[in-house]
Structure 1
Amino acid sequence: MSQFRSADWFGKTGKMGFLYRSWMKNQGMPADLFDGRPVIGICNTWSELTPCNAHLRDLAESVKRGVFEAGGFPVEFPIMSLGETLLKPTAMLFRNLASMDAEESIRGNPIDGVVLLTGCDKTTPSTMMGAASVGLPTIVVPGGPMLNGKYRGTDIGSGTAVWKLTDDLKTGKITNDEYLAAESCMSRSAGHCMTMGTASTMACMVESLGMCLSQAAATPAVDSRKKVLAQLSGRRIVEMVKEGLTISKVLTRTAFENAIKVNAAIGGSTNFIIHLTAIAGRIGVDLCLDDFDRLGSKIPLLLNLMPSGKYLMEDFYYAGGMPVVLKELSKELDLDAITVTGKSHAENIKDEGICYNNDVIAGHDSPIIPEGGIAVLKGNLAINGAVIKPSAATPSLMQHTGRAVVFETIEDYHARVDEPELDIDETCVMVLKNVGPVGYPGMPEVGNMVLPKKLLDKGITDMVRISDGRMSGTAYGTVVLHVSPESAIGGNLALVENGDLIRLDVPARTIDLLVDEAELEKRRQLWKQPAYHTDRGYVSMYQRHVQQADKGADLDFLVGNSGSVVTRDSH
């Protein structure tokens, strides 16, 4: 009798065993596949509507080869795919739904271990959240970044180039034809954003957590070595099942602390905080917003990648990839932490970690900037916290007091931002309300508001911007994000009015609305909560149960895990 979970399906005798095996055999599967070998689920987020993941069908075949080679039985299954580039109103709205899809698909099927095929921003955290809730042996195969964008003799980065080119178009520095030509130049191969945007950040998060094979994060999607890593991952998941190396044994408190420090060193996306917090909530590790500042804010920035630097993920891979970062941070990290290989980080990178380009990956003692981590801000404007990415901000704006120019909604912003009569100058603070988890709903990547055209025409390239939304990891600027509590549930951000003074002090970790409490209380009494977006379906459930940004924006009833036990047969 097999010791594996799948035996409760395929190892049964009588009617139930007949049913489970017989219907699988209509795919041409021989009887000996049901002889008690480990069944490996390949959770595929492939979709042509998720361009970053459109190559994952091919990658799945490499995983299957590895599973077969190791004596396993691979079964590929789809779940909801989330593409940040196309999905409206925002892919973040559906991250938790996709995690539920992953969780129930893994739990409800005869699977002993699972391989997660990921790529675009939300497909990594959503599948990891679902897998963490079940608790089986799990390994991630990141889909990999696109090749570097090439435009007129220069490298251009996905996302990062969009913001710059759009500003140039608005100010007449380039023509519309030139703007359109850059589209094909930026996205010229399969894979996700090749800047250190959220997709690349998530891949690096996976490797720093120990959830994938060494070098998997930075290997380009179209490099033949990506298929090799996928095949080796297929072999390894079979071994993990036999060893009983479950996801909870890898995702320890130490692993999360390592990931926070690595994210600081690579200039990772602010979205990292929301996703890592949500994963921690599922696996049962107590992670709070202050941990990200305490552990990460003093870590030196080592990686010279857009949007914080000038290179791209392809260059990072050629320079040595994540093993170099891990080795450079050896004094900061616990490299004895166990990984999916069954070995520690230290053992995994023993023969790696050689830097081949110090302009791409700087040394710990000669960093790009001394402190590269995300800073957590608190004050009466963000009682539960807000975040800013100093490495992507303007140093002169890190301590700034300015007059608020308020946009009540994203529609209000789009309607008025370029009006010539808008009362705004470069010393002002742009404030955007109602783009948080509940308010939008889904917390879109609109926090890096494009500056008013009249200021761009003056040559202004940055201003302080504040919202309860997110921004793309490919974006840049002095942008305060994730304000909690958000405006839609009555956080003090909802009370800001045009002309109020706001003081930002990143070194002091504060963000304050300079309005006395008596006046704020008057405004609070007059404030009315916006109506929910809909009373129908998942979005209605989301708005009523989503937690705030500082808690990871997971649904309150999904926090924790429910295990892999299925108590009833289906027939």
Structure 2
Amino acid sequence: MSHQDPKTTKLRSAQWFGTADKNGFMYRSWMKNQGIPDHEFNNKPVIGICNTFSELTPCNAHFRQLAEHVKRGIWEAGGLPVEFPVFSNGESNLRPTAMLTRNLASMDVEEAIRGNPIDGVVLLTGCDKTTPALLMGAASCDVPAIVVSGGPMLNGKHHGKHIGSGTIVWQLSEQVKAGKISLDEFMSAEAGMSRSAGTCNTMGTASTMACMAESLGVTLPHNAAIPAVDARRYVLAHLSGNRIVDMVHEDLKLSKILTRGAFENAIRTNAAIGGSTNAVIHLQAIAGRIGVDLEMDDWSRIGRGTPTLVDLQPSGRFLMEEFYDAGGLPAVLRRLGESDLLPHPGALTANGKTLWDNVKEAPNYSDEVIRPLDNPLIDDGGICILRGNLAPKGAVLKPSAATAELMVHRGRAVVFENLEDYKARINDPELDVTKDDILVMKHCGPRGYPGMAEVGNMGLPAKLLEQGVTDMVRISDARMSGTAYGTVVLHVSPEAGAGGPLAAVENGDWIELDCHTGRLHLDVAEDEIARRLEANDPTQDSRTIARDGGYRGLYIEHVLQADEGCDFDFLRGCRGADVPRHSH
């Protein structure tokens, strides 16, 4: 509970509701049309519930119920809950990609918090981009904030077996192309994949970002893994409503939690859980908002050498339901801490305790799901940061989802100029490709394919699948779903659409990948690369789209590259929550 007398707390909302003049009259009076009694404005913390509910975002479609439980906790602790909607960018329906609107959603959150009488905020997050978007917006305001995730779906079911949402799509679609199963068999899995409310039940981007939020300290313990339909999810929502009121009295702002140490804890955690490569982009963006100087090389320095302990799809076997039953993220953090692999155990968290205080007695109920350090799923699961003349600002690869034999590879480039070119030619029987080649796709980065779609895990050529090939090295400036797998080099930066060297790759060029040394090299002379880029301006397409205006035009003009989190250049930095001048 709070150590400060609530009556002496200096509340931001008092600048709206705390005056006995014309302005105070109007602000209170209009709020009273909802049936709010006068005493609720008597120096009570006003807690915003930032809700990404949408029936177009299936992962978040149960958030009306979740919000009600948060409200109960806020009322109980002596606060006044006020729920407000923000842009809900759902991964499954939104075209061309929810990443295009992550920054837009963050702007919505930031301005809603700053412009309204809110002392603290509960961030209801779920689907992939909603977690970083809400944290980015709240971080720019630096108010007391706590994250409540919606939770993962129950295990999918198909033919009596557990199936993982997202991951099963990639697996079965490749089997159809290889002629191993029929189209009817493929379609029969559809109904069983998503059989309850919640996010993907694999360690995809949604569950990864929920784990990142918990390891950053901006949630209560166990937030990441409780299934969406488990009653304990609603208990956690209630307790989070309790806690945010105390956080306001304690002036526990995000900047006190989102320290450099917190981000280093999250990087190490991402390796231990076999987390999504998308975490790199999102953590870079959140750090940029709160003012922490997080570099791409920090991911190698802190993450590499960390064993992957969580045996979850797409890297392993199990799903989020088993992960929670085994002990959830606290059990993972305890294993890291007991082996001196938790960089900053003393980092402050939302409940006022240190990260280590929260997890030091956490039980682990399954060494199969959450493995001991002497029997990891993979010895080194840290995100591999690659550099070289093909990626001067870096590229990423997820070792826990890759084929070990391909992590050092030299191959001939088979080039696709864009996604449309890939779709048109990948299954052509005449395509000149062997299993030892490297598939290269251009113009799918932040500017080149506005929003940087999750198309980097290119499906393999049908004729190779028919031969039994299951993996190849693939390189692009795109992202991939956290539910996907393979030896896939992503986020090549600068992207082709910004004039990066990727744009210069031609069919037949030799490329060298060495994940052990972090090298990604195009075996072409530098002057030849420069000549190719000069002969064919790779930025022309994105400039054409930008001239059409609208949000996409704004996006292309201002989006930063992947190594800086794909945020807008004008959004980086913490602008604070100073109250705007009133207009009455």
Q: Under a length normalisation based on structure 2, what TM-score does the superposition of the two structures give?
A: 0.96
- Return the offset for 1:549: 0.3
Distance 1:87 1:329 in 2: 37
The reply on whether 1:558 has 2:571 as its aligned counterpart is yes
State the partner residue of 2:178: 171
Distance 1:206 1:359 in 2: 24
State the partner residue of 2:381: 372
Contact 2:559 2:568 survives alignment (8 Å): yes
State the partner residue of 1:517: 526
Quick one: which of 242, 245, 248 aligns to 1:235?
242
Cα offsets for 1:29-66 (capped at 9, x unmatched): 11111111000000000000000000111000000000
Which residue type is aligned with residue 343 of structure 1? Answer: K
Q: Superposition pairs for residues 436-475 of structure 1, below 5 Å?
A: 436-475=445-484
Contact 1:289 1:385 survives alignment (8 Å): yes
Distance 2:37 2:467 in 1: 71
State the partner residue of 2:347: 337
Distance 2:151 2:530 in 1: 50
- Return the offset for 1:169: 1.7
- Return the offset for 1:171: 2.4
* SS state at 2:189 partner: helix
Distance 2:9 2:516 in 1: 58
Distance 1:551 1:567 in 2: 29
Q: Superposition pairs for residues 10-25 of structure 1, below 5 Å?
A: 10-25=17-32
Distance 2:62 2:102 in 1: 21
* SS state at 1:481 partner: strand
The range that moved more, 555-564 or 522-531, is 522-531
Cα offsets for 1:396-426 (capped at 9, x unmatched): 1111111111111101111111111111111
Quick one: which of 126, 133, 147 aligns to 1:119?
126
- Return the offset for 1:320: 0.3
- Return the offset for 1:524: 2.1
Distance 2:580 2:275 in 1: 41
* SS state at 2:196 partner: coil
Quick one: which of 152, 162, 169 aligns to 2:169?
162
Quick one: which of 101, 104, 126 aligns to 1:94?
101
* CA-based RMSD: 1.0
The reply on whether 1:316 has 2:323 as its aligned counterpart is yes
Change (3 A) 1:2 1:294: closer
Quick one: which of 224, 229, 238 aligns to 1:217?
224
- Return the offset for 1:448: 0.2
State the partner residue of 1:327: 334
Distance 1:198 1:217 in 2: 12
State the partner residue of 2:72: 65
Contact 2:9 2:249 survives alignment (8 Å): no
Change (3 A) 1:464 1:350: closer
Distance 1:54 1:441 in 2: 27
Distance 2:479 2:487 in 1: 13
- Unaligned 5+ segments in structure 2 are 1-7
Q: Superposition pairs for residues 140-219 of structure 1, below 5 Å?
A: 140-219=147-226
Contact 1:115 1:139 survives alignment (8 Å): yes
- Return the offset for 1:211: 0.6
State the partner residue of 1:387: 396
Distance 2:526 2:357 in 1: 56
Quick one: which of 538, 549, 569 aligns to 2:562?
549
* SS state at 2:385 partner: strand
- Between the two proteins, what is the percent identity of the paired residues? 62
Contact 1:378 1:509 survives alignment (8 Å): yes
Cα offsets for 1:513-566 (capped at 9, x unmatched): 101122222212202122332432221111011000001110001000111012
The reply on whether 1:410 has 2:423 as its aligned counterpart is no
- Return the offset for 1:173: 2.2
State the partner residue of 2:40: 33
Contact 1:324 1:354 survives alignment (8 Å): yes
Contact 1:373 1:390 survives alignment (8 Å): yes
- Unaligned 5+ segments in structure 1 are none
Distance 2:568 2:25 in 1: 39
Contact 2:178 2:465 survives alignment (8 Å): yes
Contact 1:2 1:11 survives alignment (8 Å): no
Distance 2:403 2:150 in 1: 33
Distance 1:90 1:264 in 2: 25
Contact 1:469 1:483 survives alignment (8 Å): yes
* SS state at 2:289 partner: helix
The reply on whether 1:53 has 2:60 as its aligned counterpart is yes
State the partner residue of 1:359: 368
State the partner residue of 2:305: 298
Cα offsets for 1:114-169 (capped at 9, x unmatched): 00000000000000000000010000001100001111121110111000111112
Quick one: which of 528, 538, 543 aligns to 2:551?
538
Distance 2:580 2:52 in 1: 28
* SS state at 1:68 partner: helix
- Return the offset for 1:346: 1.9
Which residue type is aligned with residue 427 of structure 1? Answer: D
Cα offsets for 1:324-351 (capped at 9, x unmatched): 1110000111211110000111222244
* SS state at 2:50 partner: strand
Which residue type is aligned with residue 15 of structure 2? Answer: D
Distance 2:530 2:124 in 1: 50
Distance 1:125 1:569 in 2: 30
Cα offsets for 1:333-370 (capped at 9, x unmatched): 1211110000111222244x211110000112332221
Cα offsets for 1:304-334 (capped at 9, x unmatched): 0001100001000000001111100001112
The range that moved more, 22-31 or 547-556, is 22-31
Distance 1:242 1:516 in 2: 61
Distance 1:355 1:401 in 2: 42
State the partner residue of 1:503: 512
Q: Under a length normalisation based on structure 1, what TM-score does the superposition of the two structures give?
A: 0.99
* SS state at 1:116 partner: strand
State the partner residue of 1:347: 357
Distance 1:508 1:171 in 2: 34
The count of corresponding residues between Structure 1 and Structure 2 is: 570
- Return the offset for 1:570: 2.7
Distance 1:180 1:368 in 2: 31
Cα offsets for 1:173-230 (capped at 9, x unmatched): 2222222221111100000001000000000000000110001100000000000000
State the partner residue of 2:3: none
Cα offsets for 1:281-322 (capped at 9, x unmatched): 000000010000110011011000001100001000000001
Contact 1:2 1:37 survives alignment (8 Å): no
The range that moved more, 213-222 or 6-15, is 6-15
Contact 2:115 2:580 survives alignment (8 Å): no
Distance 2:270 2:531 in 1: 42
Distance 1:530 1:360 in 2: 49
State the partner residue of 2:233: 226
Which residue type is aligned with residue 142 of structure 1? Answer: S
- Return the offset for 1:2: 6.1
Distance 2:126 2:149 in 1: 6
Q: Superposition pairs for residues 259-270 of structure 1, below 5 Å?
A: 259-270=266-277
Distance 1:165 1:21 in 2: 57
